[in-house]
């Protein structure tokens, strides 16, 4: 139990996590001309493409808003979902190779390999904060101000951290032994994208389908993000608490799995 707690709260290593996160973010953009500007360009480019396709090519309108909906309002509702989904996929896509990409650390008995999942999530969090700032700015322009409910947004996103830590430990543990895990994730994440309420609100689904949406760990944070930021409503605290409990369970499960399989990493890396 103490070992699992050290995974979930590595208080001795916050400084090391910060240093490794900075190095990770710097390494991604070190040799590119635009550098960290890609943190802004990538989500905006995706938003522009999806808005054109759904709004102008397919003529999609956001359910429940009618014809009074503006193009910017439609785009921001899409973007609220994309911000969360992009953070999720950014961390999950890298997870299977966390251990494989650091063979020099695996050979060091004293290095706490469980920190690699923390670094993965922390570096992804940088992109989430940049995209989130753009989202908040867009809502402020659209509505001429921001609702006080905005202060609840960090709490809405908080469950994503244990969720992605747990998935990081699970996938990195499996990916170290089974190299095909990373290949499988591509089509799986593509399917998840269209099964997640990015392009539609959960309320537009038939009643029978809404019950199944609780199994999607991204549905709740996306729905609550739109509620607090765009609609100016306080989140459903009961739903947020249940979601946090489920994400913590994934984190504990992932930590237990990683602790069990890490002993053989040096033999396969």
Residue-wise pLDDT for 209-255, tens only, equals 887 888 899 999 999 999 999 999 999 999 999 999 999 999 999 99
Q: pLDDT tens digits, residue range 159-185? A: 999 999 999 999 999 999 998 998 999
Whether 126 and 198 have beta carbons less than 8 Å apart is answered as no
Q: Confirm whether 126 is domain-assigned.
A: yes
Token pair recorded at residue 79: 């973007």
Tell me how many domains the chain contains. Answer: 1
Rounded mean pLDDT, 197-211: 85
Token pair recorded at residue 173: 């543990």
> Which sign, positive or negative, has the C-alpha torsion 237, 240, 246, 247?
negative
Q: Confirm whether 268 is domain-assigned.
A: no
Token pair recorded at residue 177: 């032994």
CA–CA gap between residue 188 and residue 259 (Å, rounded): 26
CA–CA gap between residue 67 and residue 158 (Å, rounded): 34
Whether 41 and 34 have beta carbons less than 8 Å apart is answered as yes
Q: Confirm whether 216 is domain-assigned.
A: yes
Number of neighbours of residue 102 by Cβ within 10 angstroms: 19
CA–CA gap between residue 84 and residue 236 (Å, rounded): 18
Q: Confirm whether 207 is domain-assigned.
A: yes
Q: Confirm whether 267 is domain-assigned.
A: no
- DSSP percent split of the chain into helix, strand, coil, nearest 5: 80, 0, 20
This prediction's pTM: 0.93
Whether 98 and 120 have beta carbons less than 8 Å apart is answered as yes
Among the listed residues 95, 93, 62, the one whose alpha carbon sits nearest the alpha carbon of residue 78: 62
Q: Confirm whether 148 is domain-assigned.
A: yes
Whether 166 and 252 have beta carbons less than 8 Å apart is answered as yes
* 230 or 63, which is more confident: 230
What was the pLDDT predicted at 245? 96
Q: Confirm whether 269 is domain-assigned.
A: no
Token pair recorded at residue 233: 């409503």
Q: Confirm whether 168 is domain-assigned.
A: yes
> Which sign, positive or negative, has the C-alpha torsion 52, 204, 202, 210?
negative
Give the domain extent around 144: 2-262
Whether 217 and 246 have beta carbons less than 8 Å apart is answered as yes
Whether 46 and 81 have beta carbons less than 8 Å apart is answered as no
Residue with tokens 């509505």: 143
Q: pLDDT tens digits, residue range 119-152? A: 999 999 999 999 999 999 989 988 999 999 999 9
Alpha helices in 178-215 (DSSP H): 181-195, 207-212
Token pair recorded at residue 222: 């996306």
What was the pLDDT predicted at 66? 60
């Amino acid at each position: 139990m103490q070992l699992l707690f050290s995974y979930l709260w590595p208080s001795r290593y916050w400084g090391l996590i910060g240093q490794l996160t900075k190095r990770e973010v710097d390494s991604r953009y070190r040799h590119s001309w635009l550098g960290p500007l890609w943190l802004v360009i990538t989500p905006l480019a995706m938003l522009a493409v999806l808005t054109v396709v759904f709004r102008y090519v397919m003529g999609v309108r956001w359910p429940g808003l009618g014809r009074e909906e503006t193009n910017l309002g439609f785009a921001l509702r899409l973007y609220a979902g994309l911000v969360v989904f992009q953070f999720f996929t950014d961390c999950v896509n890298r997870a299977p190779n966390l251990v494989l990409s650091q063979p020099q650390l695996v050979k060091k008995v004293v290095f706490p390999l469980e920190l690699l999942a923390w670094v993965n999530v922390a570096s992804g969090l940088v992109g989430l904060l940049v995209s989130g700032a753009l989202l908040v700015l867009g809502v402020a322009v659209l509505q001429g101000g921001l609702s006080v409910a905005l202060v609840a947004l960090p709490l809405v996103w908080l469950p994503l951290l244990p969720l992605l830590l747990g998935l990081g430990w699970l996938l990195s543990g499996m990916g170290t032994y089974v190299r095909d895990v990373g290949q499988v994730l591509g089509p799986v994440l593509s399917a998840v994208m269209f099964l997640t309420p990015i392009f539609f609100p959960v309320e537009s689904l038939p009643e029978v389908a809404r019950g199944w949406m609780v199994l999607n760990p991204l549905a709740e944070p996306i729905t609550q993000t739109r509620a607090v930021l765009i609609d100016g409503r306080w989140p459903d605290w009961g739903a947020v608490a249940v979601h946090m409990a489920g994400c913590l369970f994934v984190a504990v499960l992932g930590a237990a799995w990683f602790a069990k399989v890490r002993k053989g990493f040096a033999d396969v890396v």
